[in-house]
Amino acid sequence: MTEAAATDVALADLVAALADNKCFLGRRYAEWCTAAPTLESAVAAAAMAQDEIGHARSFYPLLRDLAGASPETEAETRTAWTNVPFLNVSFRGWTDFVAANFLFDTSVSILLEAATASSFSPLAQRACRILEEEPLHWLHGEGWTRRLADKGQGVRDALIASFGQVGAQSLEWFACSSTDLVSRDVLSRDPEELRSAFRGRVNPVLDAAQLPLI
């Protein structure tokens, strides 16, 4: 495989990963529209679900024109998914929701920040537009992280367990930023730089809440 072909495949894999993770994150958020602990959080879950599913729908059409991409370019008909494993099953409780919201949602934003000046202009355009909506997701996740950390040892233990699982998979998924993509200016950060930026974003909140750092 030539260097250019390898980059094409890596780009297709990146777009598919963004689309699939956004799609499944939206589905999991949607499951809590009527199960969240407060009316405000139920409304937020519905709004964030709509955002994520809309983001996914903006990525899938890009696969049609990318060499090496799967021919399955519709969420409704896909059979091979590239989302992180924890999104394959419904959240066990609200702490899983908060972990996905605060950690994984943020990890996707960190990667999109590295794509805002991408040499692949359709990705750059979508990254810039999506990032305009993400601050509200961050505020919701940060607020609930602080809130649950003060709810007593039982809730803290559940939160720590959820954060341990989701945090590890959030770090792992940055591997979709390959050296080829960075060298060709598709992304501006390699996996280790993305992980460092992610830790720099979430760890101050975790430290203040006296939760284990990522």
Residue 214 lies in a domain: no
Residue 202 lies in a domain: yes
Q: Where residue 102 sits, what CATH number does that domain have? A: 1.20.1260.10
What domain range includes position 93? Answer: 3-76+89-208
* Burial (CB count within 10 angstroms: exposed 0-12, middle 13-18, buried 19+), residue 46: middle
Residue 213 lies in a domain: no
**Structure tokens that stand for 209 in this block:** 């809440």
What per-residue confidence (pLDDT) applies to 82?
A: 87
What is the torsion angle, in degrees rounded to the nearest 10, for the CA atoms of residue 28, residue 69, residue 10 and residue 163? 10
Q: Are 16 and 69 in contact (CB under 8 A)?
A: yes
pTM for this model (two decimals) = 0.93
State which amino acid sits at residue 54: G
CA distance linking residue 185 with residue 210, whole number of Å: 38
Locus of tokens 């803290």? 156
**Structure tokens that stand for 20 in this block:** 């699939």
Residue 83 lies in a domain: no
Residue 84 lies in a domain: no
Minimal CA–CA distance to 100: which of 197, 21, 193?
21
Kindly give the confidence (pLDDT) of every residue in the chain, 214 residues in length, as a single tens digit, with 9 standing for 90 and above.
455 545 688 999 999 999 999 999 999 999 999 999 999 999 999 999 999 999 999 999 999 888 665 555 565 666 678 899 999 999 999 999 999 999 999 999 999 999 999 999 999 999 999 999 999 999 999 999 999 999 999 999 999 999 999 999 999 999 988 888 999 999 999 999 999 999 999 999 999 999 999 9
Contacts of 52 (CB under 8 A, 6+ apart): 22, 23, 25, 26, 29
Residue 39 lies in a domain: yes
Whole-Å CA distances, 19 to 30, 44, 144, 145: 16, 21, 26, 26
Minimal CA–CA distance to 199: which of 173, 172, 167?
167
Residue 99 lies in a domain: yes
**Structure tokens that stand for 163 in this block:** 């954060």
3-state secondary structure of 4: helix
Whole-Å CA distances, 39 to 33, 45, 136, 178, 203: 9, 10, 17, 41, 28
Gyration radius of the chain's alpha carbons: 17
Indicate the DSSP class of residue 134: H
Locus of tokens 């407060």? 38
Locus of tokens 């810039």? 128
| 143 sits in which H/E element | helix 134-149
What's the number of domains the chain is made of? Answer: 1
What per-residue confidence (pLDDT) applies to 64?
A: 86
What per-residue confidence (pLDDT) applies to 41?
A: 96
